[in-house]
Amino acid sequence: MPDRGSRRKPRKEPLPKGPERTRVAAELRELYEEGITIRSIAAVTDWSYSTVHRLLTEAGPKFRLAQGRR
């Protein structure tokens, strides 16, 4: 029987705080404003969609409509 514990993902680094968090949020905003989707940014950073969205909200971009929804 395989060890089920070995399938767990390694623990992620905690989100940065203070000035570092502001810098990371600004970098994510740049990616988003270049046209990259939140879901794609989440996949690259290995953070959840909601974490990326929260950081973007802190950085203040104008959010686009989701594709396919009008």
Q: With 70 as the cut, is the pLDDT of residue 70 above it?
A: no
Residue at 39: amino acid letter:
R
Give the contacts of 54 (CB within 8 A, at least 6 positions apart): none
pLDDT tens by residue, 7-62: 555 556 778 899 999 999 999 999 999 999 999 999 999 999 999 999 999 999 88
Q: What is the predicted pLDDT for the residue at 64? A: 87
Give the pTM: 0.73
Please check whether residue 21 is in contact with residue 28, taking contact to mean a CB–CB distance below 8 angstroms: no
User: Of the candidates 36, 40, 49, 45, which has an alpha carbon nearest to the alpha carbon of residue 16?
Assistant: 45
Q: What is the predicted pLDDT for the residue at 16? A: 84
